[in-house]
Amino acid sequence: MASPLINPSPTLNASERVKALIHRLHANSLAQEAELNKPDGELSKLKALNEQGAAGDANAQGDFQQQFDDLMRDKMIALEQDKALFVYHICRTISATRVVEAGTSFGLSTIYLALAVGQNAVKLDPEQRKAAKVIATEYEPSKIALARQHWQEAGDEVEPWIELREGDLRQTLASDLPAEIDFVLFDIWTPMVLPTLRLLESNLKKGAVIVADNVTSAADGYEDYHNYIETHRNAYRTLVLPYSGGLELTVYDP
């Protein structure tokens, strides 16, 4: 179940205008999710189809993936507000200025990340400040358009700190990464998580923080990622935090 909406983001350092935008987007996302997760809703029907696939019906499995993609095409599936606030505060605490977001959708979590990066960048000299950014990633054209619209509406506290890479992140993150990434947010379909980590790994700063959403509720999907972390214990320390669905905090410390 999604976390309830906290009004008005009491611990977020942002203008009232940006807070109002954030609040509106969280409310929209919660309403969409409630509709999606109704017992007789489309997602339940799809899950039933997926169970048939898991039982060995390959056609049903193929249909599931296609229908899941179609169903999610216009859905926000945004990070809940309590998790987004946590991510903002972690980024402020570690002074993150080179951030990668895997999965951007309508750009809501990106707003929190960009606020943190912009506020952290104040301490940098002008040359370093040019490199401060959130690299956002999204492949759905309609979501890209809405995300850009939301960042424009948020204005100078947010928009200048975002570089959106359009397309499949397995291609868009394959080159031109910051030499030292401070923070990564995984809020994406789970088959993308491990391939993305492998792309970013050699550019992670020692002490970089990685946050992954829904590691408990989507444990099956995270299996390959967790196996990887488990077999590289010398480089990663992890802790699952008791947010809805499980929010995992990992520190890269090779």
Ligand X SMILES: C[S@@+](CC[C@H](N)C(=O)[O-])C[C@H]1O[C@@H](n2cnc3c(N)ncnc32)[C@H](O)[C@@H]1O
Residues in the site for ligand X, rule: CB under 6 A? Answer: 76-79, 103-106, 108-109, 137-140, 143, 168-170, 187-189, 192
Distances 182 to 93, 94, 101, 146, 251 between C-alpha atoms, Å? 11, 8, 11, 27, 10
Nearer to ligand X, 173 or 204 (CB): 173
> Cα–Cα distance between 83 and 81 in angstroms, integer?
5
What are the backbone angles phi and psi of residue 66, rounded to the nearest 5°?
A: -65, -45
Asked if 196 and 174 touch (Cβ cutoff 8 Å), the reply is: no
> Cα–Cα distance between 25 and 61 in angstroms, integer?
32
Nearer to ligand X, 7 or 231 (CB): 7
User: Minimum CB separation from ligand X for residue 237, in Å?
Assistant: 24
Asked if 111 and 154 touch (Cβ cutoff 8 Å), the reply is: yes
User: Minimum CB separation from ligand X for residue 147, in Å?
Assistant: 8
Instruction: Tell me whether strands 98-102 and 181-186 are parallel, antiparallel or unpaired.
Output: parallel
User: Minimum CB separation from ligand X for residue 76, in Å?
Assistant: 6
Asked if 158 and 132 touch (Cβ cutoff 8 Å), the reply is: no
Nearer to ligand X, 92 or 129 (CB): 92
User: Minimum CB separation from ligand X for residue 67, in Å?
Assistant: 15
Specify the DSSP class assigned to residue 79.
P
User: Minimum CB separation from ligand X for residue 239, in Å?
Assistant: 21
Distances 108 to 55, 146, 157, 177, 197 between C-alpha atoms, Å? 37, 10, 14, 22, 22
Asked if 108 and 28 touch (Cβ cutoff 8 Å), the reply is: no
Nearer to ligand X, 230 or 241 (CB): 241
Nearer to ligand X, 195 or 235 (CB): 195
User: Minimum CB separation from ligand X for residue 83, in Å?
Assistant: 8
Nearer to ligand X, 66 or 234 (CB): 66
Beta strands in the chain (DSSP E): 98-102, 133-138, 162-166, 181-186, 204-213, 236-241, 247-252
User: Minimum CB separation from ligand X for residue 150, in Å?
Assistant: 9
Nearer to ligand X, 235 or 249 (CB): 249
